[in-house]
Amino acid sequence: MRPVRIGILGPLEVRADDDSPVYVAGARLRTLLIMLALAPGRLVPIAQLIDGIWGDEPPAGAANALQALVSRLRRALPGLAVESHPSGYRLALDPDVVDAGRFERAAAAAHAEGDDAATEDGLRAALALWRGPALLDVTESEYFAPARARLEELRLTATEDRVEAALRLGRGAELTTELTTLVAEYPLRERLVGQLLRALAAAGRPAAALAAYERTREALADELGTDPSAELAALHTAILRGELPPAEEPASVPVPAPAPADRPAPRTNLRAGLTSFVGRDADVAQVRALVGEYRLTTLTGPGGSGKTRLAGEASRGLVEATPDGVWLVELAPVGSGADLPAAVLSALDLRDQMFPASADDNTADRLVAVLRSRTALLVLDNCEHVIDAAAGLAERLLGECPGLRVLATSREPLGITGEAVWPVEPLALPPEHDGAAGDLLSFDAIRLLADRARAARPGFTVTDADAPAVARICRALDGMPLAIELAAARLRTMTVEQLAARLDDRFRLLTGGSRTALPRHQTLRAVVDWSWGLLPERERAVLRRLAVFAHGATAEAAARVCGDGADVLDELVALSDKSLLTVHDDGDAPRYAMLETIKAYGLERLDDAGERDTVRRAHLGYVTDLVERAEPHLRRAEQLEWLRRLGAVHDDIAVALRGAVAAGDAGAAVRLATGAMWYWWLSGHRAEGSELTTEALAVPGEVDDTVRATAYAGLAMIATAGLGDEREVKAWVEEAERLCGGNRSNALLRMVGGLADFMRYGDDLFAASMAKLLDDEDPWIRALGRLNHVRLLPFGERRAPCELALAEFRGTGERWGISFALTTLADLLARQGDLAAALGHYEEAAVAAGAVGTTEDLVFMRGKEAQLRWLLGDADGSAAALAWAEQEAAGLAWPDSVAGLALYGSDLARWAGDLGAARSELDRAEALLATISVHPLFWAMVHDSRGHLAAGEGDLATAGSERAAAAGLALTIGDEEVLGRALVGLVDHALRLDRPTDAARLLAATTVLAGGLDRSRAEPGAVEAAVRAALGDEAAAELTAAAERELAALDATTATSRVRELAVSVLGREVSGPEDGGTA
């Protein structure tokens, strides 16, 4: 049986290829199928499925329960392709298999017919797919309410469109019964009411139509407190007067009143567009609605945003329904406000001699006389350079000409009573993560570029290969239509990659506008020059200075940088009103930002004014003060508020620092880097912080020793958090120690002292240094010192100090410290085998780390969670955790986290028996770190994993080589976790060579040198069981205990040498570290 149709427009229905019905038993099974059918061919996340099926009461092990449900669905419908993915499930079928998809496509096809009869037939056929209310099986679930509402709205709209087509065909009389029923069901839906009124009037029942209108008016007043729309009121008036619109006219055009039959044909001077109109369908509809509701509507937006074209498209659809026409008045050529009335008369094609004038008359008086008795729409285009005169004329005309409406375009509102303002936003842009060509073409900006490029270069198409460059072009040009059209013209002689690469010089590049366009629309520079020329000097100064900010500024920041400390709020508001700035609320204070083109122009003007260096220093000072003020708060309970504030200026930190570097200002650059260090550390920007700090330290010049020392300490802190090269770390630590001269005035310098002691003198002095921190006056330092001191304690004595450190961090309220303590405690519990408790700690740690945004740590936590869930038997939960970590890691510039995650993924694949996937993940990890210096422990883990892979494939020669490299590195480094892994690999190797006695001795070494077997991994338990099986439980226990006593009696160096000798014996080859001939 192969299901070929799934129905959700009514009760759930499944039919096989022979059209026989297939029953799906069980409410949850039906719910699962419905959720998958709502997204045919698309992945539905596990969490979403759990939420939809169980709501607020998911079962324990919900992922497992979901997997079981999917298995039941596959058994119930064996021909149904339900694909499993790490993060969800997908119904792999054509969308047309589901009736909802067929309905939407059929309705769209019917609308495209362009013929009323065909449209009505097509919509009637589409609506026939409905068998009852949508999603009838899940009507009681709130989860499905949005999907149900969307489908019902589509059905109702299709019904209205079908009725509209029938009305235009003159069949209104036969629709009265159906429409009366629909209006009774949807009494507040004014389009249906209007259709009922027209149908009743067409049936010769005007009294019934008027009564229906009155019922609707009362219902709107009672339910919503509103009046009927202008459209419905106009229809009511027409019925009262007996002036009904022709049957073929749609009643949905929002106009004041239909034209009487004896009026002359509508007139207009609007010209047809020479190019296709791309996107903005919703804007056109909204503008028409505003014109119908308000007598003055103004479209605002920056130059080149498409205001004129939108006004033309919106008003063109109103011509036939506006008795005295729609008239475009182009104000760009008008040089003086005094010439405005004459420009309007000229656009109306009315000559002065048609209006005898007295000596006291003026042009405005004659214009009022002409328009006073007319029902018309004036489109006043480009009002900004004569804004005061345009506002005055519009106010007078609207006040004295009751049938007149005005649609204006301007870079700022006219600012008079009764004005409706519609901001013309840039065209929709794709997100930063570029998609395939097909995905990008759903965005209007991309469609516009593709359309205009085809005109410039026939045959042009957006391909997957050039889609990223196309997206970069449109984003760089802010989605502004004019800029995109100018860019598309360049594609006649350039590739998209070449164009994208040259947009830094956009003003010289984008100069190929239409010869017949206004001069200020022929080049991108001219567009902005026009706006700049209309600004007073104070606003020009604020605009050009604001361009130094990466993404805008608050009024406080702008005052500091742009106004020499003086308030500039009035200028910011004025620039916003003139569409040169956009206003965003970031939760703290409004931020005033500018489009990239305006920013580039502002920076040029800043250079022209000779202010670049002065303003750069002011910006640097502001950013430095902010990060230094924030720094102590980042280690306290209030850290989230300060992280949010610094996050708003994240890019400004980089801009200011690189500006200082370029200017050779070493002191300022290093000072800013040290101030921002904790922010970078906590907010998931460690790689960027390391890069910028390195750049700052490379600038020659005088820097305070303590500041420079703190910068080196910060670099060391970041490097030791990942897989950084120990030689680099050592050099940075030593330089920090040399420069600080015992000065421990900040947290970084207090911590680096202990690290320096460890590198110079080993564990004993490191222990003493960390012990000093346990008495530090700062509770945060005490807790961090305690966690670092823990690693020096015997394995069995570590839990209590970890728990104490956790309590201390909880006392400070600092979330990164809490997550660090929880992770340390979880690592300890997991190694001891308490996997469930460890998992709980990892999950809590992830919540704390996620709150501050420490994504680098979060990726490691989720990777470890994936391994523990696998060991606990939760394969689905493991896959979900790993998929989540992969998703987070994709946005990181921190290769350590991504490479570490690949190692986790390799382990999981190998444990599951997929050796090919395991090897692929190892290759990915190596490739990620191939071009940078990393700590040898990373290579030890890679060699250990490759050893297990080779052994699993029966290649003991390769396994021995890999394990020799892993053991050599691990014995030299001395890291407990890595050494434990390598020793377990040696145990496995000895067993495969049938040397169980040596395997037992190596097992003992894990206890003495690595704190015991690491129960958070799959291999230790397996080799331990294998040793017992080979020797017998009692003999294995005795031999292992004896070997432990023997090694424990030796000093650490001798014990390590003894284990190395045993490894050489087992492997039959040298076991050397990186400093004595081994390879990393």
**Band of pLDDT at residue 2, cut at 50, 70 and 90:** low
Phi, psi of 553 (to 5 degrees): -155, 160
State residue 350's pLDDT score. Answer: 58
Q: Is the pLDDT of residue 1080 over 80?
A: no
Residue carrying structure tokens 């949508």 = 134
Alpha helices in 547-611 (DSSP H): 555-562, 569-577, 596-608
684 or 758, which is more confident? 684
- Mention every residue, 6+ apart, whose C-beta is less than 8 A from residue 276: 451
State residue 258's pLDDT score. Answer: 43
Check if the beta carbon of residue 1037 is closer than 8 Å to that of residue 854.
no
**Band of pLDDT at residue 512, cut at 50, 70 and 90:** low
| Lowest-confidence pick of 188-192, 246-250, 882-886 | 246-250
Q: Is residue 51 one of the residues assigned to a domain?
A: no
- Mention every residue, 6+ apart, whose C-beta is less than 8 A from residue 1005: 983, 1043, 1047, 1055, 1059, 1062
What is the spatial distance between Cα 307 and Cα 423, in angstroms, rounded to a whole number? 9
Phi, psi of 410 (to 5 degrees): -165, 160
pLDDT, tens digit, for every residue of 149-186?
889 889 999 999 999 999 988 888 888 878 888 888 88
The residue type found at 865 is: E
Number of neighbours of residue 20 by Cβ within 10 angstroms? 9
State residue 248's pLDDT score. Answer: 42
pLDDT, tens digit, for every residue of 406-451?
999 998 899 898 899 998 888 888 877 556 666 677 788 888 888 8
Q: Is the pLDDT of residue 893 over 90?
A: no
The sign of the torsion formed by the CA atoms of 461, 462, 463, 466 equals positive
The residue type found at 244 is: L
Q: How many residues does the chain have?
A: 1080
Say whether both 480 and 518 belong to one domain. Answer: yes
What is the spatial distance between Cα 782 and Cα 856, in angstroms, rounded to a whole number? 24
Q: Where is the domain boundary, 390, 423, 456?
A: 423
Check if the beta carbon of residue 931 is closer than 8 Å to that of residue 915.
no
- Mention every residue, 6+ apart, whose C-beta is less than 8 A from residue 1035: none
State residue 292's pLDDT score. Answer: 87
Q: Is residue 980 one of the residues assigned to a domain?
A: yes
State residue 404's pLDDT score. Answer: 92
Q: Is residue 1047 one of the residues assigned to a domain?
A: yes
State residue 250's pLDDT score. Answer: 39
DSSP state of 775: T
Long-range (24+ apart) CB contacts under 8 A made by 411-414 are: 411/300, 411/301, 411/302, 411/303, 411/384, 411/531, 411/534, 411/578, 411/579, 411/580, 412/300, 412/384, 412/387, 412/577, 412/578, 412/579, 413/298, 413/300, 413/577, 414/296, 414/298, 414/383, 414/387, 414/390
For residue 222, what are its two tokens?
């009672």
**Band of pLDDT at residue 394, cut at 50, 70 and 90:** very high
Helices 27-37, 62-76: inter-axial angle, 10-degree rounding: 90
- Mention every residue, 6+ apart, whose C-beta is less than 8 A from residue 416: 296, 391, 394, 395
pLDDT, tens digit, for every residue of 1021-1075?
999 999 999 999 999 999 999 999 999 999 989 999 999 999 999 999 888 766 5
Say whether both 417 and 443 belong to one domain. Answer: no
- Mention every residue, 6+ apart, whose C-beta is less than 8 A from residue 634: 642, 643, 678, 679, 682
Phi, psi of 63 (to 5 degrees): -65, -40
Report the half-sphere exposure of 188 (CA within 13 A, side-chain side): 9
Residue carrying structure tokens 């992280």 = 643
Q: Is residue 481 one of the residues assigned to a domain?
A: yes
Check if the beta carbon of residue 934 is closer than 8 Å to that of residue 974.
no
Q: Where is the domain boundary, 511, 526, 541?
A: 526
Check if the beta carbon of residue 92 is closer than 8 Å to that of residue 42.
no
Phi, psi of 376 (to 5 degrees): -145, 170
Average pLDDT over residues 954-962: 94
- What burial letters (b/e) apply to 452-473, b meaning 16+ CB within 10 Å? bbebbeeebebeeebbbbbbbb
Give the CA-trace dihedral at 698, 700, 705, 708, to 10 degrees.
Answer: -20
Q: Where is the domain boundary, 361, 390, 423?
A: 423
Cα dist from 836 to 589, 833, 871, 1006, whole Å: 45, 9, 10, 23
Say whether both 285 and 414 belong to one domain. Answer: yes
Radius of gyration of the chain (CA): 37
Check if the beta carbon of residue 33 is closer than 8 Å to that of residue 69.
no
Say whether both 416 and 441 belong to one domain. Answer: no
Check if the beta carbon of residue 327 is closer than 8 Å to that of residue 347.
yes
Average pLDDT, the chain: 84
1037 or 722, which is more confident? 1037
State residue 546's pLDDT score. Answer: 94
pLDDT, tens digit, for every residue of 238-281?
887 776 654 444 333 333 344 444 444 447 888 776 677 777 77
Phi, psi of 327 (to 5 degrees): -125, 125
Helices 145-168, 116-127: inter-axial angle, 10-degree rounding: 150
For residue 296, what are its two tokens?
């003055």
Average pLDDT over residues 618-639: 94
Say whether both 325 and 461 belong to one domain. Answer: no
Q: Is the pLDDT of residue 507 over 90?
A: no
Phi, psi of 777 (to 5 degrees): -70, -20
Check if the beta carbon of residue 157 is closer than 8 Å to that of residue 130.
no
Say whether both 373 and 484 belong to one domain. Answer: no
State residue 347's pLDDT score. Answer: 80
Average pLDDT over residues 712-732: 78
Helices 206-223, 230-241: inter-axial angle, 10-degree rounding: 150
**Band of pLDDT at residue 932, cut at 50, 70 and 90:** low
Check if the beta carbon of residue 789 is closer than 8 Å to that of residue 781.
no
Q: Which residues pair with 591 in a beta bridge?
A: 554, 584
Count structural domains, the chain. 3
Say whether both 358 and 314 belong to one domain. Answer: yes
Q: Is residue 1030 one of the residues assigned to a domain?
A: yes
Say whether both 376 and 512 belong to one domain. Answer: no
pLDDT, tens digit, for every residue of 462-491?
887 888 888 888 888 888 888 888 888 778
Q: Is residue 195 one of the residues assigned to a domain?
A: no
DSSP 1023-1062: HHHHHHHHH-HHHHHHHHHHHHHHHHTS-HHHHHHHHHHH
Question: Any idea what the CATH number is for the domain that residue 408 is in?
Answer: 3.40.50.300
Average pLDDT over residues 568-587: 84
Name the helix (H) or strand (E) containing 591: strand 590-593
What is the spatial distance between Cα 1031 and Cα 1001, in angstroms, rounded to a whole number? 12
- Mention every residue, 6+ apart, whose C-beta is less than 8 A from residue 377: 291, 315, 318, 322, 325, 326, 327, 404, 405, 406, 407
Say whether both 958 and 1027 belong to one domain. Answer: yes
Number of neighbours of residue 212 by Cβ within 10 angstroms? 23
Q: Is the pLDDT of residue 724 over 70?
A: no
Number of neighbours of residue 588 by Cβ within 10 angstroms? 12
- Mention every residue, 6+ apart, whose C-beta is less than 8 A from residue 857: 721, 816, 819, 820, 823, 849
Q: What percent of the chain has pLDDT over 90?
A: 37
Name the helix (H) or strand (E) containing 592: strand 590-593
Residue carrying structure tokens 């099974």 = 29
Domain extent, residue 399, equals 281-423
State residue 684's pLDDT score. Answer: 85
Give residue 44's Cα distance to chain centre.
19
Say whether both 452 and 320 belong to one domain. Answer: no
- Mention every residue, 6+ apart, whose C-beta is less than 8 A from residue 195: 160, 163, 164, 167, 175, 179, 251
pLDDT, tens digit, for every residue of 285-330?
888 889 988 999 999 988 888 888 889 888 988 888 888 888 888 8
Say whether both 399 and 456 belong to one domain. Answer: no
Q: Is residue 350 one of the residues assigned to a domain?
A: yes
| Lowest-confidence pick of 108-112, 412-416, 536-540, 975-979 | 108-112
Model confidence, pTM: 0.67
Q: Is residue 1021 one of the residues assigned to a domain?
A: yes
Say whether both 987 and 1064 belong to one domain. Answer: yes
DSSP state of 226: -
Check if the beta carbon of residue 470 is closer than 8 Å to that of residue 496.
yes
